[in-house]
Amino acid sequence: MDRLPEFAGHHPWLVAAAALIALVVLAYEARLRIQGAATISPQELIGLMNQGALVLDLRPASEYAAGHINGAKPLSSDQLPRAADTFKRHKEKPVVLYCDGGSQASAAARQLSAQGFTRVFSLRGGLSAWRAENLPLAKA
């Protein structure tokens, strides 16, 4: 440990690169934590569905009717601010949101967390990831 300052003096570029890499890793981890809601894979969603999770589809009604995850309930963007009242008995249970690609669901998950839901998740990759794994869709 006594020789660390000596090493740093002889190899400043190497020490600077190591410090930069450490900062990048820390920034990446911080960004993931700030994003709020956790994301889950389609396989993890199946496990939560077996435990009685509430699954909410954020896509437009026409897309929902064309094919959705079995048991999912539609939730439009104008219903989202009142979700705490609509789904109040699910505040302590797992709630999973999904859209086509996953970005809208992440933002909605943060809103539900702010409304007091304690176990909110978004489907990583959205319905596209569900389809990519050849999992079944229900039609209304």
Catalytic, 54? Answer no
Asked if 118 contacts 92 with a C-beta cutoff of 8 angstroms, the reply is yes
From 95, 99, 109, 123, active-site residue: 99
Q: Annotate 48-100 with DSSP letters as a single string.
A: HHHTT-EEEE-S-HHHHHH-B-TT-EE--TTTGGGHHHHTGGGTTSEEEEE-S
The Cα–Cα gap between 79 and 97 comes to 13
Catalytic residues: 99
